[in-house]
Amino acid sequence: MTPPIVIILNALLIHISEQKEYNTKLRHYQSRRADYNMRAMENFRRSALNLGERYLKTDLQYLAREGSWLSVGQAYALLSGLALSIIFAKILPREVYGNYKYVLSIGGMLAGLGLTGLTSAVIQAVAKGYTGTLESAKNTYLKWGLIILGLSAIGSIYYLLQNNYFLAISLFIAGVSIPVSGAYNLYGSYLYGLKSFRPATIFWIIGQTLSITLLIGAGYFISNAISLVLAYYLSQIIIAVGFFKYTLRKHEVSGPSDASLLSYGKHISIMNLLGTLANQLDKVLVFHYLGAAQLALYTFAFAIPEQIKGTYKNLFQIALPKYADQDPNKIRNSILDKIKRLTLITALLVVGYCLTAPLIYRLLFPAYQDAVFYSQIYMLGMIAIPGISLFGTYFQVRKDTKTLYKLSVISNLSTIVLTFVLISRFGLLGAVIENGISWFLILAIYIYYFHKDKPTNLGVGSPS
C-alpha cells in the first residue's frame, strides 16, 4: 500500500506541473492577445491616416512619423506660451508689459537685418547631404551681424543722449544678443535638414523652459521692463550657444558645403527684411500712437491666434526637407488641392475660436477682456495662412529668386502702407484689420504668381 505522504507529494507535483502548463499557455495567450491588439491599433492608425490622405492629399504617414515630435514641441509651445501670457497678465502692469513688447518689436526689426534666410538654406543644404554648410553658415551670419551691432550701438547712444536710459540699455542688450543667438540657432535648421525632429524638439523644449523660467522670475521679483529684456535675450544666447556646441559633438558637420545655397540664403534674407519690418511695424506704431498700455492690449488680442499660427509654421517646416529633393512639377500638381482642404479646416477652426473667445478670455485673461473683439477680428485672417505657407514653400523649393523678390517687395510694401494708413486713422482697430487685409492680399499675390509660373517654365532656378 502506497504511503499517504507519497500520494500527497505525487498530487502536489501533478498540480505544480499542471499550474506551470496553465501559466505557460496563459502567457502565450496574453502575448498573442497583445500582438493582436498592437496589430489592430496599427491597422486602425494606418487606416485613419490613409483616409486622411485621401481627403487631404497629403503624406500623413510622413507627418505622423517625422512630425510627431514637432507636434509635441508645438503643443508645449502652445501651453507654455499660454501659461506665460496668463502669468504676465496677472503680475505685470500694462505699461511694463507694453514697454517690454515694444523692445522685442524693435529687436525683431534688427533681427531682420541679419541673414535670416540661412535658416531655410541650411535645411535644404543638409537635406541634400551638404552637412558642412552649418559651420560656414554660422560664421557668415556672425559677420553679417556686425551691421546689427553697429546700428543698435548708434540707437543706444542716441537714446542715452535723450536721457531715455530704458531704451538705451535695451537696444544695447538686443544688439549684442541677436547676431549671436541667430547664428548659433542654426543648429536647429541642421537637425531639421537631417529630419532629426526628436532632438530638435527636445532641445527647443529645454530652451523654452529656461527662457520662461527666467522671464517669470524677472517679472515676479523685479517687475520692470529692463529686467524682462535682459532675461529674454540672455536666455536666447545661453540656449543657442549651448545646443550648437552639443550638436557639433554629436553629429558629423565637417562634410561638403553648398556655397550656392548660402548665396541663395542671402537672397532670401534680403527678401525677408521687408517682411520682418512689415511684421513688426504694427507693434511699433501702436506704441508710438497709442502708448505702452494699448500695445499690451493689442498683444493679448493676438496671443492665442499667434500660437495657432505657430502650429502651422511648424507643420510646413516639416514639409520643406521632404520637398527639397522633389521635382517641382510633382509639388505643383498637388499643392492646390492641399491648400483648399487645409483652408477649409482652418475656416472651421476660426469659427470655433470666434464663438469661444469670450469664454476663453474670461477664464484665462480676465484683466484683458476688452481684447476679445479685437482677437476675433484678428483670427479671421488666419484663413489665408495655409495658402501663404504652402505657396511660399513651393517657390522656396524652386529657388526662383526673381519671383521671390517680386513677391516679397509687392506684398510687404503693401502691408507697410496699409499699416501706416489704418493705424494712424483707426488706432487699435486699424492695426487688427490691417493684419487680415494684408494676409489675404499676400495670398492673392501668391496665387497670381503661382498661376503665372507655367508648367513649361518649371525647373530648379539658379540659387545665385
As given in the structure block, the three cell numbers for residue 452 are 503665372
Confidence of residue 464 (pLDDT cuts 50, 70, 90): very low
- The owner of cell 552639443 is 246
Number of CB atoms found within 10 A of residue 219's CB: 23
Is 35 within the bounds of a domain? no
Residue 38 lies in a domain: no
Q: Report the C-alpha gap between 407 and 404 in whole angstroms.
A: 5
Among the listed residues 82, 132, 60, 106, the one whose alpha carbon sits nearest the alpha carbon of residue 308:
82
pLDDT value, residue 460? 44
Which tens digit of pLDDT belongs to each residue from 223-246?
Answer: 899 999 999 999 999 999 999 999
Whether 24 maps to a domain, the answer reads no
Give the pLDDT band of residue 39 (cuts 50, 70, 90).
low
In order of 92, 194, 315, the CA distances from 303 in angstroms are 16, 32, 19
pLDDT tens string 91-103: 999 999 999 999 9
What is the DSSP code (8-state) at residue 368? G
Q: Determine the structural domain holding residue 417 and report its residue range.
A: 67-457
Task: Give the Cα separation of 138 and 160 in Å (integer).
Answer: 32
Grid-cell match 470666434, residue found: 354
Q: What is the mean pLDDT of the chain?
A: 84
Q: What is the pLDDT of residues 352-382, one digit of tens each?
A: 999 999 999 999 999 999 999 999 999 999 9
Query: Which has more confidence, 298 or 73?
Result: 298
407 is a domain residue = yes
In a domain, 292, yes or no: yes
Q: What is the pLDDT of residue 67?
A: 57
For residue 81, pLDDT over 50 is answered with yes
Whole-number Cα distances in Å, 443 to 282, 387, 408: 19, 6, 12
CA–CA gap between residue 290 and residue 366 (Å, rounded): 22
**pTM to 2 decimal places:** 0.78
Cβ proximity of 204 and 135 under 8 Å = no
Q: Is residue 34 part of a domain?
A: no
Of residues 260 and 415, the one with the higher pLDDT is 415
Residue 43 lies in a domain: no
Residue 87 phi, psi dihedral angles, 5° rounding? -65, -45
Total domains in the chain come to: 1
Q: For residue 31, tell me if it sits in a domain.
A: no
Query: Grid coordinates standing for 345?
Result: 479646416
